[in-house]
Amino acid sequence: MFRDVYRPASQRRCWILLGAFGLVLLGVGIGLRDPWPADEPRFALIAKEMLATGQFLIPHRGGELYPDKPPVFIWLSALAIWLTGSVRLGFLWPSLLASLATLGLVCDLVRRLYGARIALMTGASLLATVQFVMQAKAAQIDMVLTFFTTLGAYGLLRHALLGPSRLWWLLGWGAVGLGIITKGVGFLPLLFLPAWFWLAARGRVPRLALQDLALGLLVMTGTLALWGIPMLAAASLSGDPALASYRDNILLRQTGERYAASWHHLNPWYYYLVEVIPWAWMPLVLALPWAIPAWWRRMRRGDARVTLPLTGVLLTLIFFSLSPGKRGVYILPTIPLLAVALAPLLPGLLKKRGLQWAGGGVLAAAGSALLVLGLLGLAGIDSLENAVRRYGLDPWPLCTALGLAAIVLLIRMRVDRGMFALVLWLPALWTAWSTWGYYHLDRLRSPNHLMERVADITGSGAWLAMPSAQEEFLLQARQPSVHFGRDTLGPAQLSRAFDWFAKAPNERWMLIEQKRKDEIGCADMGAARDLGYQNGDDWWLIPGSAFTACKGSVDAAPLFIAPTTTGSALIGRG
């Protein structure tokens, strides 16, 4: 693919092949599954609610204000769902398009810096990186955030390395603003600035005048104001304490407090170095033993093309490592910058025998593990059969096929070309996951069929209470649904539910986990229907008339109504 790319016709063919390959690799599987927990059902539910209510300024989740994230990603999700007419078809499109756009930005920047051949190699390396592909196939906010941070970095780097260009400088700051109203950490491209000042002092990049910084801040602030000012006006002038709480939550608690004193996803400072980077940056991480000395030499020479993106990677890692709350997905924005920093080294790195052996070793380990697992499963080993019997899966033929494919690739290409074999094998793994995996796991991870059964039992017009307020169940509901707040304590939720049932016991039902049996001991469980296992729990469907002996209180918890449009393909079906 990389031969003769200096000829324009060959270059065009190579770019078309890379784009087509990226579209197929990242897009395969769309339409084969519903949104899966933890984050996907939440954003799809909020997007559906926006479409159902027309309330786009301030997001709601099942009728309850949602202050955890700004709305840009949810707007994109709502647009995709509206355009496709289906949650199932539309919810993955924002991540897919963001990943393809990120790929395009990285390739274009590297092409301008080092030429078409290295740009194509860089694009291929990005499409081989595990976390990049994984998040392109997930409807989480982080791939769209990564697009905006990459666009911001692209604009700043165009000014620094290929400029000066005030247009790209200001576009970069605008992208930073969009990143912030996508997720609060959208400012990550600004972590270039310390290295920029150092390089400018050495004459390696244009100096940053106070006027330029002021204009950049003005553009970023203006971008933030596009949503921030209407939101602040709506929350501050409404006189509604709930909206005021939303304003304070999203501006303070979900930003500074969440970073400095996080209340979940608590991990040690070395979490990213030990538990995330080894798999998330695979196979790029295998090149680090050779890349780090080469980077050091280039940085000592003041090579801004390496120093700026590498500074972005390192300072992003430090920034997230200093917070007690850490998730692996937080470092996704480092991957495009890592690819840019590695770009000039790729031709030499791929000639390293040690790197090829490292790639071959990883492939041999993965292939052998899958092959042994598949063969043992096919042999009917009891422990393996018991592990999957409850889920109705038979993954052993697929594991065997993937393991054999890895071994055959290694034999045909030899271990001294093991990195190439690994890069060729990974698309087979992703394709299997996005087809077989989506098809067979969807019934386990999406309550689509369970909620159809609930509607068949209760009737589509009956009201359904879901005290646990799990978003995937609210998303797939086929009937009017209520819940009692995700942050409300269990007894308060149930007390409010009991009061709600007392008003119309013959028209209302409850969907609840069987593990909460003791909490509803006052109910007549003889009327309960066992719905079986779904999304990690066993479920009961109980009519409101079974709760006549239960005492409730209207003041125990708030009541939230999840908007729905009965009979609509858009709202009624996932």
Confidence band of 567 (pLDDT split at 50, 70, 90): very low
Name residue 80's amino acid.
A
Mean pLDDT, residues 274-284 taken together: 96
Q: Report the C-alpha gap between 278 and 272 in whole angstroms.
A: 9
Residue 6 reports pLDDT greater than 80:
no
Q: Which of left, alpha, beta for 85 (phi over 0: left; psi -120 to 50: alpha)? A: left
Tell me what pLDDT residue 57 has. Answer: 94
Q: Report the C-alpha gap between 335 and 263 in whole angstroms.
A: 27
Instruction: Tell me the angle at which helices 304-322 and 142-162 cross, rounded to the nearest 10 degrees.
Output: 150
Q: What is the pLDDT of residues 214-228, one digit of tens each?
A: 999 999 999 999 999
Tell me what pLDDT residue 255 has. Answer: 72
Helices (H), 264-390: 271, 277-280, 288-300, 304-322, 334-342, 346-349, 353-378, 382-389
Tell me what pLDDT residue 12 has. Answer: 82
| Number of neighbours of residue 16 by Cβ within 10 angstroms | 10
Residue 90 reports pLDDT greater than 50:
yes
Residue 1 reports pLDDT greater than 70:
no
Mean pLDDT, residues 275-285 taken together: 97
Mean pLDDT, residues 30-34 taken together: 96
Tell me what pLDDT residue 571 has. Answer: 35
Average pLDDT, the chain: 91
Contacts of 418 (CB under 8 A, 6+ apart): 356, 357, 358, 359, 360, 361, 362, 363, 364, 410
Cα distances (angstroms) measured from residue 207 to each of 176, 196, 202, 204, 415 = 20, 8, 10, 9, 48
Retrieve residue 291's tokens: 């890349």
Mean pLDDT, residues 359-377 taken together: 95
Tell me what pLDDT residue 544 has. Answer: 95
Q: Report the C-alpha gap between 84 and 47 in whole angstroms.
A: 13
Alpha-carbon Rg of the chain, whole angstroms?
26
User: Kind of pairing, strands 463-465 and 508-513?
Assistant: parallel
Q: Report the C-alpha gap between 536 and 369 in whole angstroms.
A: 26
Q: Give the residues across from 463 on adjacent strands.
A: 508
Residue 9 reports pLDDT greater than 80:
no
Tell me what pLDDT residue 569 has. Answer: 35
Confidence band of 381 (pLDDT split at 50, 70, 90): confident
User: Are 503 and 555 contacting, i.e. CB atoms less than 8 angstroms apart?
Assistant: no
Confidence band of 469 (pLDDT split at 50, 70, 90): confident
pLDDT above 70 as % of the chain: 95
Q: Could you write out the DSSP letters of every residue in 304-325?
A: HHHHHHHHHHHHHHHHHHHSSB
Helices (H), 67-209: 72-84, 87-90, 93-114, 116-128, 130-136, 142-162, 166-180, 193-201
Tell me what pLDDT residue 239 has. Answer: 82
Tell me what pLDDT residue 393 has. Answer: 84
User: Are 466 and 493 contacting, i.e. CB atoms less than 8 angstroms apart?
Assistant: no
Tell me what pLDDT residue 11 has. Answer: 77
Residue 263 reports pLDDT greater than 90:
no
Tell me what pLDDT residue 92 has. Answer: 97
Q: Which residue has the tokens 């005030």?
A: 166
Tell me what pLDDT residue 276 has. Answer: 96
User: Are 332 and 143 contacting, i.e. CB atoms less than 8 angstroms apart?
Assistant: yes
Q: Report the C-alpha gap between 398 and 380 in whole angstroms.
A: 15
Mean pLDDT, residues 182-200 taken together: 94
Tell me what pLDDT residue 252 has. Answer: 78
pLDDT above 90 as % of the chain: 79
**Of 2-6, 150-154, 305-309, 445-449, which range is least confident?**
2-6
Confidence band of 260 (pLDDT split at 50, 70, 90): low
